[in-house]
Each structure stands twice: as C-alpha cells, then as structure tokens.
Structure 1
Amino acid sequence: MIGAVVSVQSASAQEAYVQIEAQPSLRAAEERVRAYSGVFPDVAGFAMDTGWYAIALGPFSPEEAERRLQVLRGERMIPADSYLADTSRFRQQFWPVGAMVAPGVPDALPGRDITQSVMPEVIAPPVVLPDTTVPETALPETALPETALPETAFPETALPEVAEPVLPEPEPEETLQQARAGEAALNAEERRLLQTALQWEGFYTAAIDGAFGPGTRASMSAWQAAAGHDETGVLTTRQRAELLDGYRADLAALGLEAVTDAEAGIEVTMPTALVEFSRYEPPFVQYTEKAGSGVQVILISQQGDASTLAGLYDLLQTLEAIPLEGERSLGRASFTIEGTSASVQSYTQAELRGGLIKGFILTWTPQNAERMPRVVEAMKTSFRGIGDRALDASLGVPSTESGAALMAGLEVRRPMLARSGFYIDAGGTVVTTAEAVQGCSKITLDGGPEATVAFMDAAMGVAVLRPAQRLAPPATAEFRSAPLRAGSEVAVAGFAYADVLQAPVMTFGSLAEAQGLNGEPDLARLALAALPGDAGGPVVDASGAVTGMLLPRAQTDGRVLPADVSFALNGGVLATLLAENGFTPAPSTGSGAMAAEDLTDHSLKMTVLVSCWE
C-alpha cells in the first residue's frame, strides 16, 4: 500500500484537475459529487485548505485538462466558471470512496520515513506483535496439563487509533457590503445564469437579461427565504454557489440537453437522462422512456395547413397518453393540450408556420409530477423549427395503421361503446338508441363535441341527445308519414365499422314485415344484414325519408336469428314519441325515388357517430 501511495504522489506534479464546484459542507459535497459521477466517470472530491470541499474532474495531464475544460465548458456540460484547479490547496480526498491521495503533496525527502512524511495524521506506523504460534511437535497429546500455556497479554495501547483529519473551520458568511462587491464583479453571462437558476427554481419569471432590477431582487429574496437565509435581496458568494449547484444538479439528473433533429427540422432541449431515441414514424419522431423513467417525448413534423392542424388537434386527443381532463386551446396557427389523469400527465404543443406543422408531445407518470413542469418550461422556451423541411413521409417505418389504431406507439383511447344516431333539427339534436348512452361519464358526437341526454325512454329504446354547443348539421331527418309496404326497398346509414372507418356506410335491404316477430305494432322486421355499430342509425326509404331507427339485436332466449334479420322502431311511432316530449320532427316532403348516389349522400350526412366514454 505504501508503494502505491508513493507512486501516485510522485506523479502528482504532472497531474491536473478541472474544478467544477465547491461546497461549504462535506455532506453537500458528497451529494453533489454523487450526482456528477452519474455523468462523468472521472469525478474526484477533495477537502480544501479554505474549509470548503472541491469537486473536480481528473486527474489529467496539464494539456488534457486544458482541452477538457474548453470542450466541456463550450458544450455547457460544466459550469461556465469552471477552471484549472490549484492542487496545492487540496487536502484529504473524500471521493472516490476509499481514495487517500491528496494531489500536490511532495514526495518523501531523503532520510525521512515515508509513512510519517506523507500523511502523519492519518496512517500510523505498524505495530509488530510477537508470534505466539506453538509448533505441532511441541505438545504431545498427554504431556502437559491445561495450565502449561499461559495466556499472552498485550497492553491496550498496542493498536493505536487512526487519527481523523483536522479540517479548518468554514469561513464566515459575507456581509451585505461584501456580497454587493462580489456581485458587482460578475460578468453578463454569470448574471444571466443566476437569473436562469432562479427561474428554474420557480422564483423568477421575467426576461433573462442579466439586469438585476426589482424583479430579480424580489426573486433573490424569495429564494433566500425558502433556503433559510436572511432576506437581503443580494446573494453572497456562498449562496450563489448553493443556488447554481442545485440548478446544475437538477440538470445533471434530468440530462437536459439541446437536441437537434435535422430530419424533422426541430431543435429543442430534452431530458436525455429520461428518454432515448426510438424510431422515425412520420409524421412523428419517437423518444421512449429510458430505464423505466416513465417519460416519453414525441416530436411532430409534417407539411400542412390550418385544416391539417385542426385535424391533428382532434386526432391527438384520442390518444390514451393525452388524458381528456385538462386545459386545451386551438388557434388559427397553433394549439396546446394539457392532459391529466391518475395514471398519466401530458403537455402537447404544435405550430403552423410556412406550410409546416411542428411541435412536441411530452408525457410522464405521476412519480415525475414534481420535476416535469420544469422540463415542460425548458422544452417550451427552447423549441424551434429549423430549416424549411418537414419529416420525410418515407423515412423510417411509416405507420400503416389507421387513425383509430396505434399511432407512434401510443394506444388510441377507445370509447366503451360506439353506436350510430341521426340529426333531427338544425341545432344538432340527435336521436339514437338508449343502449348507446347507458352508464356513460361522457358522450361525444363524431368524436368531438360533447352532448348530454335530453330525453330517454328505455322501454322504447330511444334516447335524444343535445350537444353542449349548437351545431350546424349538413342534413336532418324528415319522417315518412304513410306506412311502407312489405317488400319495399330500404337502407340503413350507420357506423358499422367504427373501429376502422371514421365514416358511416350504407347497408341496403328491404322491409320484410311491418311488425315484430310476435306481432309488435311499433316494430318493423327488416331483411337486412346490419352490424352492432349500425344500431341507432336511420332507416330510410327510396325517397330518403326516415321510416324508422335501427334497434340493437335483441336477446332471443338462446335462439340465433339469421344474420339478415334486423329490427327497427317504426318511424311513425318514433316521430310521435319525439313530438310528445317537446321535440319537432319534420315530416317528409319528398315523393319520388332518389338516385342511389343522392340517397347515399343525403343519408350519410344526417348520420352521426355516438360515443360513450367511461
């Protein structure tokens, strides 16, 4: 061990360190050096002759230390005020744990004991103890009684205690006058850095301009109060170091770094310690969580216009990772979405500029709730589009799934139930099946506007929905007044494939009988192969008049009906029910048959997707 110490010490004259911090207490220094050790593999910690504790990078050769200082400082990976350390001020090394070498301590002089000249207060000379081992041949089995070997006693002073290093007392705190003098010596970059750290801690909200006006002074006082210091509005040297050390520790833990994605044309500061690049999936660039951090980032980059932006705004709100609760805003050229739930929180922003839509999505789990608002602010303030290009649609692995499937690795939020309905007036009032709205915490129309139940008759299977805001439907229902003859052609407009197609489809068939299987007069039996999503949709005749509303397939006590047997509530019965409860169903004014394409267009325009959310 002595030889190893001599070897390191004799080389210390050629060693150099880059000092990046100093702390007033050993505990604070140990916390900071542990944080830095997660970023740099060559972190060292030393007690100093000033009573403070230095955190440094090294050892390096003098040339390498100078190069490291310039590179790391230029890349903002270490504080701007880092410098080449004066190792003559270093004393006991406390990091890495177990290290005992102090750089700069001179080699042993000729004629002196190295154990006393190198560390006189730490390593004591070894004590030589007498050998009490008895040879195996000295004692025959029956030769001596038990008292033949007296115990060997050693004095209590035989093993001296290792002396603790004696460190000087910390220097007293600066006076207000000294603090002002130290502050006056700061350059513009250092003053802006202090404002940035105060902003990071949540005490400063004004511009980062390096001017210490009333706002900066108030934020300094607030920080001093929170840190347990006297509220003077002027930070001492030690307080500035404490503030900046905390800021840098947070940056190191989050790995906040400027990331430039040339393919997407985006530059933004991201928490690189929490996320890592995964893949391109146009129009998204996905960064997945790192080491189970629970944080995810998705960059958005695509060509488009105001209509594309609005469509993206609606589409993103169908994602499970963007909760429904939270503030959101859509403008002419930008939008923001904040989402919060018990399992996930998110922030999303996008902006349209020069025919390019660029933005980001940041999601995190509840355990990150305390630190993520700072990350959100860092990403918001640093985000900018660069260049005149968006993500190439052919880059990476473009998603082949529909908008209702997986998008950029995020699962789309699905309603508990999706059924059809149709507009019955110009304000957007909708008629649907009662099944579609039972047990819902929220009801939406066409995946967007919310609606509430204005009327429901469970026995008849009818529900009437009123939108939260007045709508302008492209078409409304007109009810047929005369009965329809059996065998007449009919069609149902409905969202038969709601999970795949975001549009209604027409299913054609005929009226089999103007009553139910058991003679129910309010029902009509159809020869038509409808699907569950069609329930609640309008049944129309050849003129486009509504002759009924398709009902869900009824339970038949274990009997299975043919696939082309469906049932509808009679249109006349439905119109009467609506009128009796304060609604105004319009009578049909048409008489002749419409062309097939016109009938389809008219029927689909009055049909709406009704979604029931848990």
Structure 2
Amino acid sequence: MKKHVICLLALIGAPLLPPIAHAQTEQVVEAGVWVQIEALPNQAEAEDRARAYSAIFDNVAGFNSRGWYAIALGPFATRDEAIARLTTLKSEAMVPQDSFISTGKTYSSNFWPAGQADRPAASAASPIDPPPPVPATPAPATPAPMAEAPAPAPEPVIVEETPQQARASEATLSAEQRVELQAALQWFGHYTAALDGAIGPGTRGSMAAWQTANGLEPTGILTTRQRQMLVDGYRAAQAELGLAKVVEEKAGIEITLPTALVEFDHYEPPFVHYRAKDGSDVRVVLISQPGDQSTLYGLYDLLQTLEIVPLQGERSRSERSFTIDGRSTTVASHAYAELSKGLVKGYVLVWNPRDDERIARVQAAMQSSFRSVSDTALDPGLVPMSAESRQGLLSGLEVRRPVISRSGFYVDATGTVATVSEVVEGCNRITLDLRHEARLVSTDTATGLALVAPQKPLSPPVVADLLQGPAREGQDVAISGYSYEDKLPAPTLAFGKLEEMKGLNGEASLMRLGIEALPGDAGGPVLDASGAVMGMLLPREANAARKLPDTVEHALQAATLAPRLAEAGIAPRAATTTGALAPEDLNRRAEGMTVLVSCW
C-alpha cells in the first residue's frame, strides 16, 4: 500500500526546473550522480514530498536549485548505476515517468533531510565557565503517566473517475487546454497529427498508448488526475530544456529553441549562431538568405562539407526543401531548409549522440514550430567581412575537406567519369566537383583505372573523344587537371611533349611524357592539339625504388582505355577532328570535360 501512496504523490507532480538566470551555489554538493524525481517552488511542499519519499527510499535528499526545491535519490557512484536504478523505479511506477539523471551541478544547499542545512556546529564548553550547580537533595521525580502512541494516519485511498466522469470533466476543457494535451502527448511520442484541439480517434489512440506506457488501464480516456500528470510532465520537461519561442527578427524566423541549452552568439550572414550553454554540447545555427532553387541546392551541398554535418545519415532533397541527418560517434546533427518567395530559410541542430533521447524532443519542437515570419532575409552586410575572410571561415563554420582529390574526365553523356583508382580507395563518400554525389562503377588494378558515375545523371559540357590510332612521338601535348586539388574552382592546363609510346620499362599500355605535373593532376586527360584524348595521366609510384626527374610522367594510352570502357558498358567516343584548336578553344574543351573527383 505504501507503494501506491508514493506513486500517488509522484503522479500529482510539479514542474521540474524552469530555465532561470545563473545563480551562485551556496555549498558544494556531494560528488556523484543523482536521480531527480521532483522539484517544487515551495519549500514546505517539497519537505512534505521528501518526507513521503523517505518512507520508501533511504537515500532521499533535497536541494535548493535555482530558486526551486529539487528532490533526488543518491548519490550514485556512476552514471550507469543511476540509469539502472531509474529504469527499475520507472518500470515499477515508483517515481514519476519524467524523472531524470542529474549531475547535481545546479544543486546548492540542502533542505532535506530536515535540519541538515544551516545546522550550527556544537560549541565546546568554555574552560572558564563554572560547572552547573548540583542540587544538594534532589527531589524524587514523580513518574509521568504513560501517553498512548497516536494511531497511524490512515493511508489515502485512490479513487479514480469512471470513464463517464472522465469524459464529463474532459468536456469542460478549453480549446487551449485540449491543444496543450495533444502537445504533451506529442512530446512523449504518442501523437503525430496536427495540434487542432479535436479529440478524435487519433487522440484517443495516443491517450491509450500513453496510459499503457505508464502502467495504466488503456481506456483512451484520461481522468483528471491522469491529464494533470501528463501535462505536468510535459511542462516540467519543457522547463528543464528551457523550450521557448524565439522570434529572430533580423533573419525573419520564428522557432522554438532550448534556451536552457543554447544562447545567442553572433551573426555571420547567412547564419545566426547559438552556442552551447553551460557545457550542454548543443548548438543551433539558423539560416536566412535571399535566393532561388540553385541557392537551396548550393546550401544543400555546402552543409555537407561542414564538420557539424557528419557524412553518415539520411539525406533527402526536393525542389523546395531538403533535410540532412548526420551522425558519427561524437557528433549528431539535423538540418532543414526550405525555399519560399525567393528566400531560403532553415536551421541546423547539433548535439552529442549520448543525448539522443532528450534532443529528439527538442528536434520535434523545433521542427513543428519553425516558420518564416517576414519577407526579408538576413542582411549580408549586417557584419562586415572581407570576401577572403568569408571564404576562409565560411561564416564561422569549420569546413570538412576531402581526404584526397584527383582529376578525371567525362566519358559518356550521363556523366560517367574516368579517373585513377588511388582516389576511390576506402572512401565513405565520392563527389564530383564537390557537388554531385557519385558511386564507384569499377576499378582495374592492372591499369590503375577507375570509373565513377554520378548518383543522378548529369549533362556534361564536354565528353572526351578518344584518339584513334598511334600518336606521333615528339608532338605537343597538354594535361588538364586540378593540380591543386580542391583549392581552385577550375582545372589548369600544363604543356609538354610526348616522348615515347611506351613506358620506361617497355610497358606497351603506357606513354611517357616530358611534362611537369602535380599529384592533383593524376586522372586528368592528356590532350593533343585537336582536343582529342590521347590518354589518362597516372600518379607516380609512392614507394618507387628510383626517383624519376620532375619532367617525367606516365599516362595510360587511349588504346588501352577504350576496351576497359567497353567492358563497363560504355561506348567510347572516337575523335574525328584533326586540326589544331586555338588555345582558348582547347582550354574551353579541356575545362568542359575535366572533373574534380574527391574522396571523403
């Protein structure tokens, strides 16, 4: 019966901890981890609750906590021990379902056990004080009559409303109260429809699900006490996270943010930064900029280059919006943006994966509340910043760089790219020109050739035409490649000579060039004066026994490349022009077919 008494006390509930301005703690709380089960604004009520809990548990403590009175169990030596205890207590309905693990950082002086705080130390007797007088003849004491022990107070009997009574009390709820009820059900993961205040089959089903989760009979009709328990838990959880509507006027965004976990940091258009608060490991970035669909798509690609958006996770993009979920062992994030009326607006939420359960509710609150509240976007000139600084800092966000980037060139009309196998080995992700997601089609270890195809077909500006027949030794050649990998936005041309139609060791599949190249050029096309592709530049051997001069490079011949393309189902295009192109035309053709291939 005592278990039911304490459960009743717990179910009546009160908000846990609302966000309040920082306060200095009055004393250091014992080290360890706590299970916070309740918090009340009034000390007398909190002491009554603590007294009731102490009848069941032997480790009840009460602390002042930022103006509230928190009741907790503990301390526990480890977080795992506290979690195991909390799980057991919740499953047995011994504590409220919104009880949580606390490090005690907000706890200050004790109010329970009664008299523990502010208890004066016992003073030692003064050596100069005379001893108390002793009566010469003490009078015989008269025994006092024995008083009868008071009868124990009867335990309260829980009397629930009948379903009919519950329906009747439910009918008196205002529209705002019904919406809040749905919001509370949504908060605890039982309701997914619109918050319209209409209590229909969907709401009834979510009520039954909530009742089942809390060990109650799943009638689908909440009694007055159950509604109070649900709403109190919802309000307490919101107060703990400090969830509050924020209207960011400069960005034209309204959204609910966890103000107990993040605080405004700075503007750097198109971003509004909110930094982690009190070591929460949570960050929020609001996005607001003018633009069109290309701006939206560019933002989609850009965000995936940031350290706060891990490579693993689901991605989806439509014509008017996108969603990106990223996850690693140390960082998780959720990004959303939409295009409306010539404006791109959105947000990024970043957290530590160990806080998934709590942040899932924050994410739901942000997602359901996000909206554009004006026809203006963040002013790009709000914070003066040079173009060089903006490019280097990317508005204060750390940019993720590819592990390795090399060159490649288009070999068919759908965007398939020929490149070197070294750039696609062990990649979590492959991109073309840092924008287009790609997949590995095939690799050939004998030749060092790899074929990469975009996830969605592309329309290349230029598709390579392969040279037919032998080339002439001593003729001029050019290599088109991203010499400096992803540091430059376009490929460069390097010029040299075709020295020999075989390798230094007599390899018939290779050609030897007299030209200077950089590692980023590997995979790029070797062109003759007409713009025909004579071959593909190969990387230098990393651990070669002999170091070749800087002007000696090798390339895979077009005659060797063509059958490999055919084996992959790609019909190689044959070069038909023979006349030399003007330098600007050759450069335009080379740039149109050359691709930056990056491994992430």
Using the size of structure 1 for normalisation, the TM-score is 0.72
Which residue number corresponds to residue 531 of structure 2? 544
Maintained 8 Å contact 2:418/2:450: yes
- In structure 2, relative to structure 1, the CA distance for the partners of 1:405 and 1:600 (3 Å cut) is same
CA drift at 1:599 = 0.8
CA drift at 1:345 = 2.4
Within 1, Cα distance between the matches of 2:291 and 2:451? 37
Maintained 8 Å contact 1:36/1:43: no
Instruction: Tell me which of 17, 29, 35 is aligned to 1:35.
Output: 17
Within 2, Cα distance between the matches of 1:429 and 1:170? 76
Which has the larger Rg? 1
**How many residues were matched structurally?**
504
Question: SS of 1:418's equivalent?
Answer: strand
Instruction: Tell me which of 44, 47, 51 is aligned to 1:46.
Output: 44
CA drift at 1:269 = 0.4
Maintained 8 Å contact 2:417/2:452: yes
Does structure 1 residue 311 correspond to structure 2 residue 293? no
Question: SS of 2:447's equivalent?
Answer: coil
AA in 2 matched with 1:326: G
Instruction: Tell me which of 152, 160, 174 is aligned to 1:174.
Output: 160
Q: Deviations over 1:581-614 (max 9, x none)?
A: 764322211111111111111111111222233x
- In structure 2, relative to structure 1, the CA distance for the partners of 1:58 and 1:39 (3 Å cut) is closer
Instruction: Tell me which of 285, 290, 313 is aligned to 1:326.
Output: 313
Maintained 8 Å contact 1:33/1:44: no
- In structure 2, relative to structure 1, the CA distance for the partners of 1:402 and 1:331 (3 Å cut) is farther
Which residue number corresponds to residue 199 of structure 2? 212
Within 2, Cα distance between the matches of 1:56 and 1:558? 70
CA drift at 1:403 = 9.3
Which residue number corresponds to residue 97 of structure 1? 111
CA drift at 1:454 = 4.0
Structure 2 counterparts to residues 126-165 of structure 1, below 5 A: none
Which residue number corresponds to residue 55 of structure 2? none
Maintained 8 Å contact 1:274/1:291: yes
Within 2, Cα distance between the matches of 1:53 and 1:192? 35
Instruction: Tell me which of 227, 240, 260 is aligned to 1:240.
Output: 227
CA drift at 1:396 = 2.9
Within 1, Cα distance between the matches of 2:567 and 2:353? 50
Maintained 8 Å contact 1:35/1:253: yes
Within 1, Cα distance between the matches of 2:297 and 2:272? 20
- In structure 2, relative to structure 1, the CA distance for the partners of 1:298 and 1:460 (3 Å cut) is same
Maintained 8 Å contact 1:44/1:58: no
Instruction: Tell me which of 246, 257, 262 is aligned to 1:259.
Output: 246
CA drift at 1:442 = 4.1
Within 1, Cα distance between the matches of 2:128 and 2:66? 53
CA drift at 1:399 = 7.9
CA drift at 1:51 = 9.3
Structure 2 counterparts to residues 97-116 of structure 1, below 5 A: 97=111
- In structure 2, relative to structure 1, the CA distance for the partners of 1:52 and 1:289 (3 Å cut) is closer
Does structure 1 residue 277 correspond to structure 2 residue 294? no
AA in 2 matched with 1:97: F
Within 2, Cα distance between the matches of 1:606 and 1:431? 11
CA drift at 1:250 = 0.9
CA drift at 1:49 = 13
AA in 1 matched with 2:348: I
- In structure 2, relative to structure 1, the CA distance for the partners of 1:457 and 1:96 (3 Å cut) is closer
Using the size of structure 2 for normalisation, the TM-score is 0.74
CA drift at 1:425 = 2.1
- In structure 2, relative to structure 1, the CA distance for the partners of 1:381 and 1:528 (3 Å cut) is same
CA drift at 1:389 = 1.7
Which residue number corresponds to residue 374 of structure 1? 361
Which residue number corresponds to residue 569 of structure 1? 556
Q: Deviations over 1:161-218 (max 9, x none)?
A: xx99998744633321543443333322222221211111112223323332332222
AA in 2 matched with 1:490: V
Instruction: Tell me which of 494, 508, 521 is aligned to 1:534.
Output: 521
CA drift at 1:398 = 4.5
AA in 2 matched with 1:609: L
Within 1, Cα distance between the matches of 2:557 and 2:166? 87
Maintained 8 Å contact 1:50/1:170: no
AA in 1 matched with 2:177: E
Which residue number corresponds to residue 420 of structure 1? 407
Within 1, Cα distance between the matches of 2:238 and 2:479? 60
Does structure 1 residue 189 correspond to structure 2 residue 183? no
Question: SS of 2:42's equivalent?
Answer: strand
What's the C-alpha RMSD, in Å, of the aligned pairs? 4.0
Q: Deviations over 1:248-293 (max 9, x none)?
A: 1111121111112122111110111111222212111111222332
Structure 2 counterparts to residues 80-91 of structure 1, below 5 A: none
CA drift at 1:550 = 0.7
Within 2, Cα distance between the matches of 1:359 and 1:351? 6
- In structure 2, relative to structure 1, the CA distance for the partners of 1:201 and 1:399 (3 Å cut) is farther
Within 1, Cα distance between the matches of 2:377 and 2:189? 34
Deviates more, 1:492-501 or 1:45-54: 45-54
Within 2, Cα distance between the matches of 1:252 and 1:26? 20
Within 2, Cα distance between the matches of 1:36 and 1:454? 55
Within 1, Cα distance between the matches of 2:65 and 2:482? 66
Which residue number corresponds to residue 330 of structure 2? 343
CA drift at 1:480 = 2.0
Q: Which runs of 5+ in 2 are unaligned?
A: 1-5, 24-39, 53-63, 69-108, 116-124, 132-140, 144-148
Maintained 8 Å contact 1:194/1:244: yes
Q: Which runs of 5+ in 1 are unaligned?
A: 1-22, 60-94, 102-130, 138-154, 158-162
Q: Deviations over 1:498-536 (max 9, x none)?
A: 232243222233334444344544433333221111101
Question: SS of 1:339's equivalent?
Answer: strand
Within 1, Cα distance between the matches of 2:521 and 2:42? 70
Which residue number corresponds to residue 6 of structure 1? none
Question: SS of 2:450's equivalent?
Answer: strand
